[in-house]
Amino acid sequence: MTLKKIGFIGTGIMGAAMAGHLLAAGFELSVYNRTRAKAEGLLAKGAKWCESPGECARGQDVVITIVGYPKDVEEVYLGEDGILANSEKDAYVVDMTTSSPILAEKIFAAAKGKGIHALDAPVTGGDTGARNATLSILVGGEEDDFKALEPVFSKLGKNLVYMGAAGAGQKAKACNQIAIAGALAGACEAYAYAKASGLDLEKTYQAISAGAAGSFQMSNVVRRGLDGDFEPGFMMKHFGKDLAIGTETSAAYGAALPVLGQVLSEVRQIERQGEGSKGTQSLLWYYGIGK
C-alpha cells in the first residue's frame, strides 16, 4: 500500500513542526486542531483544514495524533465523530502523544476490530527534535505495521525503535520521562547547593557541565533557566501529565519509584503557582533559583 494521504491532529509546539516535515516531503496533508490559529502556518503551505477529528480521518491512508492528555486521546480516537468511527479499513492510525499504555492497548483492540492498524508511537527530543526531524520514535503495535510506517516516521525522526506489542511504545516513553525526572531534579539540586553555599552559578555550570555530571537536561534545559529563559520547549503541565502516567502505571506493574514521586510533587507545586505553561526548566523555581 502506497501511503500518500495523511490526516494530522494536533498542531501545537511539536505537532506543527512534525506536520510541516510531512508536507515538505510531499504527502497530501489534512489537519485538525482545536485552535485553528495554530494550524495557519501549515494551511498557508498547502495543508487542508478539517472541522473535526472525524473529518480529518476520513479517506486517509494514515492518521497521526499528538494532542495533550490521555482524555484527549480517548476522545479523538473513540468519540462519536472520532478517528476509528471514520477511518477506512486498512488505514493506519498512529498516536504520538505521550499517553497511557493501558489506553493504547484499548485503542489497538478497538481498531483491530474494525480492520484498522493502530500504533502507539510517542516521541522524545522536544521542540528541537521536532523542528530538526531528529526525534526518537518509540513504537508499540504490530511489527509489520511499524515497518509499513517507516517511510513516514523517517521524515520525523532519526531513531526509530520498535518496542513490541501495543502499549510498549508508551511504556518506553514512561521510562524516558522517569529518567528525565531524576536528571532534571538532580541538576536543579546541584545549583540549589551551589547558591546556598555561596558559589557563583555560572562558574559552577562551567565547572560541572562538561564532566561526568553533564547531561542533556543540564546543558539544554537547566541552561535556559540559568539564562533567564523559562519559555517552553516542553511545558511543565505536560511534564506533570507524563510523570503522573508513570506513577499510576508503576503501581499497577508493581514498581516502587520514590524519586519519580518526589519530582512529580515538585512539578505539581509549580503548577499550583499558575506556571504550568512555562518550560520544564522552571523546576529551578522550586529550588529558589531564577525567580
Catalytic residue annotation: 173
CA separation for the pair 165, 157 (Å, rounded): 21
> What residues contact residue 271 under an 8 Å CB cut-off, 6+ apart?
236, 237, 240
In this structure, the dihedral spanned by the alpha carbons of residues 187, 253, 111 and 33, taken in order and rounded to 10 degrees, is: -30
Q: Residue for cell digits 533557566?
A: 225
Paired with 64 in beta bridges are: 8, 94
CA separation for the pair 80, 7 (Å, rounded): 18
Phi and psi based region of residue 47 (left: phi greater than 0; alpha: psi -120 to 50; beta: remaining):
beta
Q: How buried is 100 (Cβ within 10 angstroms: 0-12 exposed, 13-18 middle, 19+ buried)?
A: buried
Short-list 122, 120, 124, 123, CA closest to 167: 120
> Are the CB atoms for 153 and 37 separated by under 8 Å?
no
Short-list 196, 154, 180, CA closest to 260: 180
Three-class SS of residue 28? strand
